[in-house]
Amino acid sequence: MTARLGAADPDRPAPQAPDATTPKDVAANPRLSTWVRVDGDGCVHVQGGKVELGQGILTALTQLAADELDLPVDRVRVHGATTAGGPDEGPTAGSMSVADSGAAVRAACAHLRRLLDTAAADGVPAAEVDLDVDIDVSLPARKPAEGGLTGISVPRVDLPDKVRGRARFIQDLVLPGQLWGQVVRPPSPAARLASLDTAGVEALPGVVAVVHDGSFLGVVCADERRADVAAESLLAAAAWEENATLPDRADLTTYLRDGPVTTFDVDVSGEPDDVAPQVRKLAATYTRPFLAHASMSPSCGLARWSDDGTAVHVWSHSQNVFGLRRAVAAALGVAPDTVQVEHAEGAGAYGHNGADDAAFDAVLLARAVPGRPVHVRWRRADELSWSPFGSAMAVDIGVCLSSEGRMVCWESDVWSQGHTSRPGYAGSPGLLAGAHVEGGAPLPDPVDPPPERGAGSTRNAIPGYRVPVRRIRGHRRQDAALRTSSLRTLGAYGNVFAIESMVDEAADCAGADPLDFRLAHLDDDRARAVLQAVADHVGWAGRPREGDVGWGLGYARYKAKGAYCAVVAEVEAVSDIRVRRLTLAVDVGRVVNPDGVRSQIEGGAVQSTSWTLKEQVTFDRTRITSVDWETYPILRFSETPEVEVLLLDRPELPSVGSGEAAQGPTAGAIANAVAAAVGVRVRDLPITPERVVAAMEA
């Protein structure tokens, strides 16, 4: 298992768009039949390349397709991604689904509509129309002014099944002849199997196979209960050699700074000499810890090898079925076309979680039983300790204020591990079990997406404010003590928290109101509009200035080219830190589905509240110790703030994603509200009562 992928980024086929009007996913997948088919059931079936993660993409694409086709929503079916004939649209990530897939589906459906119109005029049945043609992108897509469904809150197409508890998730898949697998993971990231006696496990009733390859251990059993029992038994039969490879959790900043780092400039502009005499300089360091995806379901995967063991069919809740196919093929040293990957819905995914790993676990276990499907469901502790984490970060920021109270220089250094190690991305398969098998390739050190894809550690490291002199650098640790990869917003959550905290500190230093101070440094009308809208709505000018309640403001434009979002947080700090209310104003360009956008913004804001107040991956020098909901607590119903979303619709502007707009600004707003409530600033996440007390005593 040493096969490596090519040095070039294999995550995408790297298509060249022939011209600016061709959606890039059409350029990569030009055949109309890849995208749509018309069946005898009277429905148009759209084969997308993006996947449902709970964000409602199936509904948004259904809506766009129905719009182009002039069909009611219930006559359009959008199917999940598959490598078997579907388009390769890369990962479902980075808030790009509506922009990328939406444009492609619109183009495909505009072409299909013309073909269907012609067929109807000629009396040709719709199902007989030849779709094996290249998509003609010159056909005009419908404009929003033409009416249709754009801007309508079409209800989620998948929810009726889900409120009934119907089988819809990968966990519910039961294939004929299915067996149940369980993997026994090492007790710590650097542990290696020292000894194992499988005789006792093999003798247990219902055990079909015990798989042992290097430090990869698993069982295949007749049913789920027996798999659980056999896995416990296998665990007891294994002895491990562990190594203390983890950093000192109490001083992650030193860990991030002291290792081998790759340093790179993000923005070096303006001449320091041009800065007028400065009256004040501020400097501070802001940090965030490692965060877990903590999805409600542990990862799951199914696989079935052909009887002769030459091909494998995989079912996964992966965000990238083609990427997973290439990674599995590379890890096994086989041709990619012997691996088929079909998407099945999982619980909410917020980035690169354990989905791909669980799929590969199933591939390895199912190899022991050719012809039989094997269903692998991780346990909670595995999910919380083996899914990749979002990286810890430390952000140093220095600001100079002019005598007029304006920010005239901004210097920052972002310290972080890399924010992506998606399968195949960093040059090796990047599948967990691939690193555990004998002779397997170690997991790749995480890297960052390039700036044109929004960067990683330094995503949103450049403040959106007008500051003439900027020196912004990233420092990415080359090695990674903890496995990290894409978690919703990548570095933007930490960077925006840091920037928005510092902007409030600078405003305070300048004796300015946080809103006025921000507006004075913003030229972009859309940025000003979201800030003004949220401030007007909550009555910012009349906010309470005394007592245990504080209000705070946060703002960012995601990836500097995505959604604009401004937040006001209302926090009460007595014995606990309680976020009572969040109000957000958002501009995502043209709104395809207003309630879908609201839902994504609300969810992003609440998840950010959870990260900001409660969450951190814990570990000693050897083992991850946050392994269940007690050691990795997340926000509960009783702690969830009321959330109100103001949508600033821009029908004339392109749609951008909404799933990652709110997290950074919400963290900034909460931090600023806490500072307003208690009079001291906490610069380290999560903002816990202990940290507030420590800041007060400092």
Interacting residue with other proteins among 130, 258, 576, 628 (CB under 8 A): 628
Least distance (Å) between residue 379 CB and other proteins? 6
Least distance CB 151 / other proteins (angstroms): 16
Nearest distance from C-beta of residue 383 to other proteins, angstroms: 9
Q: Is the dihedral of CA 355, 357, 361, 366 positive or negative?
A: positive
Amino acid identity of residue 267, one-letter, is D
572 binds other proteins (CB under 8 A): no
Of 153 and 285, CB closest to other proteins: 153
Q: Is 73 in the site for other proteins (CB under 8 A)?
A: no
Residue 675, C-beta contacts closer than 8 angstroms, at least 6 positions apart: 501, 504, 550, 552, 681, 682
- Closer residue to other proteins, CB minimum distance, 299 or 340: 299
Interface residue with other proteins among 45, 73, 169, 402 (CB under 8 A) is 169
Of 243, 320, 603, the residue nearest 485 (C-alpha):
320
DSSP letter, residue 392: P
DSSP E strand stretches across 382-501: 393-402, 407-416, 469-477
**Rule CB under 8 A: is residue 636 a binding residue for other proteins?**
yes
Judged by CB under 8 A, does residue 536 bind other proteins?
no
Nearer to other proteins, 95 or 599 (CB): 599
Q: Which x/- pattern, by CB under 8 A, does the window 451-490 give for other proteins?
A: ----------------------------------------
Cα distance between residue 334 and residue 317, in whole Å: 22
> Does residue 240 interact with other proteins by CB under 8 A?
no
Task: Give yes or no for residue 181 binding other proteins (CB under 8 A).
Answer: no
Alpha carbon distance 560, 564 (integer Å): 9
DSSP state of 640: P
Q: Is 8 in the site for other proteins (CB under 8 A)?
A: no
Shortest Å distance, C-beta 298 to other proteins: 7
* Residue 377 interacting with other proteins (CB under 8 A): yes
# residues contacting other proteins (CB under 8 A): 66
* C-alpha–C-alpha distance, residues 95 and 416, integer Å: 22
List all residues 6 or more positions away from 339 whose beta carbon is below 8 Å from its beta carbon.
Answer: 83, 311, 312, 314, 325, 328, 329, 332
- 268 forms part of the interface with other proteins (CB under 8 A): no
Angle at 542 between CA 540 and CA 547, to 5 degrees: 105
Pairing of strands 179-184, 374-377: parallel
Axis-axis angle for helices 689-697, 663-678 (nearest 10): 50
Q: Which amino acid is present at 494?
A: G
Nearer to other proteins, 347 or 647 (CB): 347
Q: Taking CB under 8 A as the rule, does residue 637 contact other proteins?
A: yes
Tokens of 101: 């897939």
Tokens 């200035």 belong to: 545
Using the rule CB under 8 A, is 192 a contact of other proteins? no
Q: Which of 573, 577, 578, 582 is nearest to 678 (CA)?
A: 573
Q: Which of 51, 58, 302 is nearest to 170 (CA)?
A: 302
74 binds other proteins (CB under 8 A): no
Instruction: Count Cα neighbours of 430 within 13 Å in the Cβ-side half-sphere.
Output: 32
Count CB-CB contacts under 10 A for residue 333.
10
Residue 9 binds other proteins, judged by CB under 8 A: no
Task: Enumerate residues 194-223 that contact other proteins by CB under 8 A.
Answer: 204-206, 223
Considering only residues 287 to 346 of the shown chain, the ones binding other proteins according to CB under 8 A are: 294-298, 346
From candidates 166, 192, 280, 580, binder to other proteins by CB under 8 A: 166
Is the omega angle on the peptide bond into residue 686 within 30 degrees of 0, that is, cis?
Answer: yes
Give yes or no for residue 679 binding other proteins (CB under 8 A): no
Alpha-carbon distance values, 116 to 22, 137, 138 (Å): 22, 16, 17
DSSP for 179-213? EEEEEE--SSTT-EEEEE--HHHHTSTTEEEEEEE
Closer residue to other proteins in complex, CB, 331/349: 349
Give the whole-angstrom CA distance, residue 659 versus residue 487.
Answer: 12
Taking the complex as a whole, the smallest distance from the CB of residue 294 to other proteins amounts, in Å, to 6
* CB of 400 vs other proteins, minimal distance in Å: 38
**Residue 352 is a binding residue for other proteins (CB under 8 A):** no
When binding is defined by CB under 8 A, the residue of 8, 16, 72, 164 that contacts other proteins is: 164
The encoded tokens of residue 398 equal: 């220095």
Closest distance between other proteins and the C-beta of residue 230, in Å? 9
Q: Is 624 in the site for other proteins (CB under 8 A)?
A: no
CA distances in angstroms from 115 to 109, 118, 134, 209, listed in the order given? 10, 5, 12, 53
- In the complex, the smallest distance separating the C-beta of residue 349 from other proteins, rounded to whole angstroms, is 8
The tokens describing 507, both together, are 């405003």
Of the pair 202, 224, the CB lying nearest other proteins is at 224
CB of 378 to other proteins, least distance (A): 10
Question: What's the DSSP call for residue 285?
Answer: E
Helix (H) or strand (E) run with residue 49 in it: none
Q: Does 224 bind other proteins (CB under 8 A)?
A: yes
Question: H-type helices in 166-317, by residue range?
Answer: 199-202, 224-236, 252-258
Under rule CB under 8 A, residue 172 binds other proteins: yes
Omega of the bond leading into 205 within 30 degrees of 0 (cis): no
**Residue (74 or 404) nearer to other proteins, CB:** 74
Least distance (Å) between residue 122 CB and other proteins = 40
Q: Is 602 in the site for other proteins (CB under 8 A)?
A: yes
For residue 151, state whether it binds other proteins (rule: CB under 8 A).
no
Binding segment (CB under 8 A) for other proteins, from list 86-94, 227-235, 474-482, 513-521: 227-235
Residues 378-437 interacting with other proteins (rule: CB under 8 A): 379-380
| Residues of the shown chain interacting with other proteins in the complex, contacts defined by CB under 8 A | 53-56, 153, 155-156, 158-160, 162-169, 171-172, 204-206, 223-226, 229, 232-233, 294-298, 346-350, 377, 379-380, 595, 599-600, 602-607, 609-610, 628-630, 634-638, 640-643
